[in-house]
Chain A
Amino acid sequence: MAPGIATNGPGSSPGAAIRDAILAGVIALGIFGPLVGLKTEQNMQNELIITTRWGTVAIIVAIVIFGRFLLTTTIWPAIARRKASDAGPSRTSVAVKAGIARWFPPVGLVFLFVYPAIVVGLLGFQGSLKWVDNFGIQILIYVMLGWGLNIVVGLAGLLDLGYVAFYAVGAYAYALLATHFGLSFWILLPLAGILAALWGIMLGFPVLRLRGDYLAIVTLAFGEIIRLVLINFRELTNGSAGISSIPKITFFGLYSFDISAPNYVAKVFDLPMSSAYYKIFLYYLILLLALLTAFVTIRLRKLPVGRAWEALREDEIACRSLGINTTNTKLTAFALGAMFGGFAGSFFAARQGFVSPESFTFMESAVIVAIVVLGGMGSMIGVALAAVAMIGGTEILRELDFLKAVFGEGFDPDQYRMLFFGLAMVLVMIWKPRGFVSAREPTVFLTERKSISGSLVKEGHG
């Protein structure tokens, strides 16, 4: 039915559109009437009774009728018209796209640096907490993880489904060494990175002979093994109970964010007490860590090792015929990706003040892989946007309290987030099958830098 209407285009009359919309409404009523309108509940006498929700059904049906009308009268004709006139991308749209590509990174960067100031200015210190912490820090952690995994999956084309293992290694390295030996974050940050990189190499050696699906399965298993070791090695890790009271990060030992400490920032600078300072400090810290990841990745792409990663993704056999040691090249990708995961992990432990194996489930790996795939493999900007969409999207769902007015008090939009995720992923994969940013930027050029269409770039095969 839909394609028929779409091809009829603007020629179809408003009467037909209304008839079509009403028909859609009747179908919606038929489907949602029993499904949504009738609900069985147990009453006090433990009897099953039917309650009705006709109001909700009416809203759904109205949305369907109105949406269908809008589609047939405006949206489909507009798409059809554009398709008809669209011989190629118009010059203005190309210019706009080039402008966005040129200006988005610097503008985005400036925005990231002033973001806490804007939020504090608008909402005050106390009000800013949620926005800096839940949105800012949380998203930036995933941006960093996405960029780290991007080296392995996006550049080298090795599908790693156990990336969270390195995140866990970093987190536990900080948690254990800080609580047992009282070492500072600034010593443990590089140490956590190195430990994670070592684990990356240890994982790498046995599995790099595998390709494609087999590699993915083994990395997945590795992620699970690390988590199970963390649960069962109780003497060291305290099992599922986790490690708590992990010390906070200090400002290079000069200022502390611990209220009881003598050099607490608010005391030193004579400010009112607030936990917002620590959050803002953490925000800038993770921002700088993420930018370090981006900087190193961008640099590496232009170095022989980065080109070798991408060449490996394109064709491993050709790489070997050109004298590239593919084992070493893969190991460096694994180690570097793992190192950034370790950095992010130690930051995570310091921020939460508590780590437990619960935080390092396969779900986390899946979310990070989803961020990289959704963003467009190999694209820094794409991955950052995907992290904002996926993690920011989850957080936004917590904010949609007004939906309770529609769906009743018991409605918790957060519980539907996986549903929304799935839907959003399906839609994005239909419209943008190679992710948000699919084009590849060449690392070097002779006369003119031309983006390479995503259809030519391979995804790698293990």
Chain B
Amino acid sequence: MTMTVELDVVVEQPRRWALDPVLSVEHVSMRFGGLVAVNDLSFQAGRGDITALIGPNGAGKTTVFNCITGFYKPTQGMLNLRHASGDTFLLERMPDHKISAKARVARTFQNIRLFSGMTILENLLVAQHNPLMLASGMTILGVLGLPGYKRAEKEAIEKAKFWLEKTGLTARADDPAGDLPYGAQRRLEIARAMCTEPQLLCLDEPAAGLNPRESAELNTLLLDIRAMGQTSLLLIEHDMSVVMEISDHVVVLEYGVKISDGTPDEVRNDPRVIAAYLGVDDDEVAEVEEVLDDISEETAR
């Protein structure tokens, strides 16, 4: 019954990320026909934190991301995004482009989605579409060649330059994005997402396919973004060196259900996480199941 005691402690002392969450996922379920990809998931991502969403393959992590960024509409539940200014947005009610434009949630993709036939600079300018569109007077003033748009474009290029510098891509700014090596494409995708000035940046496996050095560079970049203080990060990752090193808060999913939620150290030592990741011996299965039964009884009560 030790687990019960621990759970009670959790309830009594709200965790740091629950104090000022940028994103609250509340009882979200996503069903595809008979398949339950995400089942009654609740967690919070703290403002200014790096929150990692981990779990074995097929655990439903990307589905959660797609719900947050509006590519899927969750079958049930609520996704509440709160800006530093206090504005709140219910993401499950917004179409995907509005989630990016209004709620300021940006994302990257597991299989990189760059505009490969456009230059790196153009990629970063497309990301600033909405402010530039306003500056060009919804195109009309821009076609006439009025100076207001020129100024706005210059500012946009300056911002692009800042992120090129941050991601070490300045030298290749005029090359097509499709020509970049894989690691640089990953960084460009992050730079492009950052050009939308997001409140929450969702990274879908940013370290996939990177070598250890690139992986370390990525860590620095993500910590840098956090240090700037404007953007909170939510990332899906398999690379435990990235997760354990940089994240403040880890949420573990298995078969669409949250099995653990806490600081990296807590999660690392959680028997359920170890069981999910490493598998357990036959005699331990019963033990783990017992523990799980206890938990479900506890929550049912």
Contact = CB atoms under 8 A, between A and B. Distances in A.
Given A323-B97, A442-B174, A307 B126 contact: yes
Contacts of A307: 118, 122, 125-126, 129
A310 B125 CA distance: 12
A318 B149 contact: no
B248 to A, nearest CB: 25
A209 B196 CA distance: 26
Given A304-B132, A320-B97, A456 B176 contact: yes
Given A307-B122, A320-B96, A322-B126, A315 B115 contact: yes
Nearest to A295: B143
B280 to A, nearest CB: 39
B142 A299 contact: yes
Interface in A288-317: 296, 299-300, 303-305, 307-308, 310-311, 313-315, 317
B133 A304 contact: yes
Contact of B126 (A299, A308, A442): A308
Tier of interface size on chain B: 35 or more
Given A321-B100, A322-B106, A314 B118 contact: yes
A315 B113 contact: yes
Contact of B143 (A303, A442, A443, A449): A303
B157 A444 contact: yes
A200 B114 CA distance: 29
Interface in B126-158: 126-130, 132-133, 136, 139, 142-143, 145, 149, 153, 157
A322 B117 CA distance: 17
B179 A456 contact: yes
Contact of B122 (A317, A326, A444, A447): A444
Nearest to A451: B176
Contacts of A447: 173-174
Contacts of B113: 315, 317-318, 321
B173 A324 contact: no
A78 interface: no
Contacts of B149: 303
A446 B130 contact: no
Contacts of A440: 117
Nearest to B171: A447
A453 B117 CA distance: 8
B121 A444 contact: yes
A91 interface: no
B197 to A, nearest CB: 10
A445 B99 CA distance: 30
A448 interface: yes
Given A318-B113, A450-B175, A458-B117, A323 B129 contact: yes
B97 A324 contact: yes
A323 B101 contact: yes
Contacts of B122: 307, 310, 442-444
Contacts of B114: 314-315, 318
A443 to B, nearest CB: 6
Given A303-B136, A323-B99, 17 more contacts: A303-B142, A304-B129, A311-B118, A311-B126, A315-B116, A317-B109, A318-B113, A320-B71, A321-B106, A321-B113, A322-B106, A322-B193, A440-B117, A449-B174, A450-B119, A450-B175, A457-B117
Interface of B: 69, 71, 96-101, 106-107, 109, 113-119, 121-122, 125-130, 132-133, 136, 139, 142-143, 145, 149, 153, 157, 161, 170, 173-176, 178-179, 192-193, 196
11 contacts: A299-B143, A303-B136, A303-B142, A304-B136, A314-B117, A318-B113, A321-B100, A321-B193, A324-B130, A446-B161, A446-B174
Closest 9 CB pairs of A and B: A457-B117, A323-B101, A323-B100, A314-B115, A456-B178, A318-B113, A304-B132, A446-B173, A303-B142
Interface of A: 296, 299-300, 303-305, 307-308, 310-311, 313-315, 317-326, 332, 440, 442-450, 452-453, 456-458
